[in-house]
């Protein structure tokens, strides 16, 4: 048997590198397995789910009903009302930590694909905000007929544009809604749009001239909307680099006069207003001020989270959604996307509410 002295130096060197390569490869595989296992563990939420088809609305809705793991109910229920834009039932997984939070408080949760999304019939851009409220009320009617849902404990969580929808439902169904939770909710559509534009331009370090030009383009579009101008006129005159589609124009035309102020004094259910101090979409200081002015004080609880975005996500993550840090957090620690305290706060608040 040859000794190390009999092996040429180059051969010994190759063998050492081979051993190191094998060890390194083994470490990589072990880390990958461990990371995969951790990701599976972190995305194993403490609830059970079923796909449901909800009838009673303009068209059938395809939804996900999330239930506590323990017991057979009846459970409370939280309807999740999406914000603007394309959205499937769980908003690409974003709702899952909140669904788990509500499940721990004894509440089921339900979200559904917007019309036209994920194979659902219809087109969400054909809806007015009033249509969206009626859609939510149809989901309530469907849920109230189930034996595993407590009809006296049905509330609504609504983010962004959903903040115009859920007060309407609470006013329409004062004896059936237990609570509402507006998140990143605006007061007035036009003021919200200007605030968002200014905040986004500031984040891009736009010059004063660029900001003025953007504000003028926005005002030009608003003038046409106020005149009920046809899409063709908008399209022939706009200088937007990314103009609205015909469907989007009609959606904005239906909804741009939205203002929640008249509804707020009419609310007779508990309201948990959740706001992020670093919100670039909504002027949360205006929202807080108007809610405090118009909602009955004994019904209102307000949380303003420092360093939180529009979604009550850590601002450094939400404002850099394509960053490696954000992607890794989403995969390996999805509950950590939210700012500290948010999930606990909604769980504690809803757990203390009496049935309707």
pLDDT digits (tens, 9 = 90+) for 154-213: 999 999 999 999 999 999 999 999 999 999 999 999 999 999 999 999 999 999 999 999
Mean pLDDT of the chain: 91
Is the domain of 138 the same as that of 270?
yes
Which pairs count as long-range contacts for 249-256, CB under 8 Å and 24+ apart, including other chains? Answer: 250/125, 250/126, 251/125, 251/126, 251/127, 252/225, 253/225, 253/228, 254/127, 254/128, 254/129, 255/128, 255/129, 255/189, 256/189, 256/190, 256/193, 256/222, 256/225
Look at residue 81 and tell me whether its pLDDT is greater than 60. Answer: yes
pLDDT class of 298 with cuts at 50, 70, 90: very high
For residue 16, pLDDT beyond 90 = no
The DSSP symbol for 113 reads P
Residue 296 confidence (pLDDT) above 60:
yes
Instruction: Output the pLDDT for position 356.
Output: 86
**For residue 44, what pLDDT is reported?**
82
Say whether pLDDT at 10 is over 80: no
Is there a single domain that holds both residue 26 and residue 75?
no
Residue 2 is assigned to a structural domain of this protein: no
Does position 4 have pLDDT exceeding 80, yes or no? no
Judge whether residue 68 has pLDDT over 70.
yes
The rounded percent of the chain whose pLDDT value lies above 90 is: 85
Whether residues 167 and 128 share a domain: the answer is: yes
- Alpha carbon distance 143, 54 (integer Å): 9
Domain count, the chain: 3
Decide if 273 is inside a domain. yes
Helices (H), the chain: 9-42, 96-104, 129-144, 162-172, 189-203, 208-226, 231-237, 246-255, 284-294, 315-318, 324-332, 342-351
Does residue 304 fall inside a structural domain? yes
For residues 133, 137, 142 and 145, what is the CA-based torsion angle, rounded to 10 degrees? 160
Task: Specify whether the CB–CB gap between 243 and 235 falls below 8 A.
Answer: yes
- Last residue in a domain, options 203, 222, 255: 255
Q: Name residue, tokens 């507006």.
A: 182
Where does the pLDDT of residue 25 fall: very low under 50, low under 70, confident under 90, or very high at 90 and above?
Answer: very low
Per-residue pLDDT tens over the stretch 87-137 = 999 999 999 999 999 999 999 999 999 999 999 999 999 999 999 999 999
Q: Is 70 left (phi over 0), alpha (psi -120 to 50) or beta?
A: beta
Mean pLDDT of 288-294: 98
283 shares a domain with 229: no
pLDDT in the model for residue 110: 98
Using CA atoms, how far apart are residues 254 and 270, in angstroms rounded to an integer?
29
What is the pLDDT, as a whole number, of residue 310? 98
Residue 297 belongs to a domain: yes
How confident is the model at residue 38, as a pLDDT? 34
Beta bridge partners of 62: 53
The domain boundary, picked from 236, 255, 274, lies at: 255
- Residues 164 and 80 grouped into a single domain: yes
Q: Which range is least confidently modeled, 11-20, 37-46, 287-296, 316-325? A: 11-20
Question: Could you tell me if 176 and 205 lie in one domain?
Answer: no
User: Which residue range forms the structural domain that includes residue 22?
Assistant: 9-42
- pLDDT value for 42: 53
37 and 66 both lie in a single domain: no
Minimal CA–CA distance to 156: which of 356, 298, 335, 293? 356
Asked if residue 279 and residue 152 are part of one domain, the reply reads yes
* Average pLDDT, integer, range 23-34: 42
Using the predicted structure, report yes or no on whether residue 321 has a pLDDT greater than 50: yes
Kindly list the distances between the CA atom of residue 132 and the CA atoms of 59, 263, 271, 293, in Å, as whole numbers in the listed order: 12, 16, 20, 26
Taking CA atoms, 26 is separated from 19, 39, 70, 86, in Å, by: 10, 20, 41, 42
| 37 — pLDDT class (breaks 50, 70, 90) | low
Give residue 8's pLDDT.
53
Specify whether 96 is located in the same domain as 114: yes
Predicted local distance difference test score (pLDDT) of residue 34: 38
Same domain? 88 vs 179: yes
Q: Kindly report the number of other CB atoms within 10 A of residue 87's CB atom.
A: 23
Largest CA distance in the chain: 96
Q: Is 169 contained in some domain? A: yes
Q: Could you tell me if residue 127 is inside a domain?
A: yes
Q: Which two tokens stand for residue 253?
A: 């035309």
Tell whether the model's pLDDT for residue 22 goes beyond 70: no
- One domain, residues 60 and 38: no
Cα dist from 274 to 184, 228, 261, whole Å: 6, 35, 17
Within a domain: 1: no
Nearest-Å Rg of the Cα atoms of the chain is: 25
Task: Examine the domain organization and report whether 75 and 112 are in the same domain.
Answer: yes
State the average pLDDT over residues 315-324: 96
Of the pLDDT bands very low, low, confident and very high (cuts 50, 70, 90), residue 29 is very low
The mean pLDDT value for 317-345 works out to 96
Three-state secondary structure call for residue 173 = coil
Residue 115: its H or E element:
none
Classify residue 3: in a domain, yes or no. Answer: no
Average pLDDT over residues 26-43: 44
């Amino acid at each position: 048997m040859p000794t190390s002295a009999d092996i040429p130096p180059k051969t010994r060197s190759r063998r050492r590198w081979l051993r190191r390569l094998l060890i390194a490869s083994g470490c990589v595989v072990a880390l990958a397995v461990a990371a995969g296992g951790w990701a599976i563990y972190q995305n194993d939420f403490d609830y059970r789910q079923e796909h449901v088809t909800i009838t009673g609305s303009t068209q059938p809705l395809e939804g996900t009903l999330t239930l506590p793991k323990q017991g057979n109910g009846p459970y409370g229920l939280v309807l999740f009302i999406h914000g603007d834009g394309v959205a499937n039932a769980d908003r690409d997984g974003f709702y899952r930590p909140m669904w788990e939070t509500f499940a721990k408080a004894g509440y089921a949760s339900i979200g559904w694909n917007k019309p036209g999304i994920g194979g659902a019939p219809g087109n969400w851009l054909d809806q007015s905000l009033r249509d969206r409220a009626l859609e939510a009320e149809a989901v309530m009617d469907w849920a109230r007929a189930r034996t595993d849902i407590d009809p006296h404990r049905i509330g609504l969580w609504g983010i962004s544009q959903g903040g115009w929808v859920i007060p309407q439902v609470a006013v329409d169904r004062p004896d059936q809604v237990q609570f509402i939770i507006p998140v990143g909710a605006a007061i007035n559509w036009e003021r919200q749009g200007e605030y968002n534009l200014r905040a986004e331009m500031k984040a891009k370090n736009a010059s004063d001239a660029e900001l003025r030009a953007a504000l003028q383009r926005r005002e030009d579009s608003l003038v046409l909307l106020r005149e009920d101008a046809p899409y063709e006129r908008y399209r022939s005159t706009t200088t937007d680099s990314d103009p609205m589609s015909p469907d989007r124009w009609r959606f904005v035309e239906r909804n741009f006069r939205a203002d929640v102020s008249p509804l707020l004094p009419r609310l007779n259910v508990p309201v948990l207003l959740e706001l992020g101090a670093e919100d670039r979409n909504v002027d949360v200081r205006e929202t807080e001020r108007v809610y405090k002015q118009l909602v009955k004080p004994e019904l209102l609880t307000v949380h303003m989270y420092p360093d939180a975005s529009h979604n009550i996500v850590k601002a450094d993550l939400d404002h850099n959604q394509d960053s490696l840090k954000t992607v890794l957090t989403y995969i390996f620690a999805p509950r950590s996307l939210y700012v500290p305290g948010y999930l606990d706060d909604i769980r504690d608040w809803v757990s203390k509410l009496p049935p309707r």
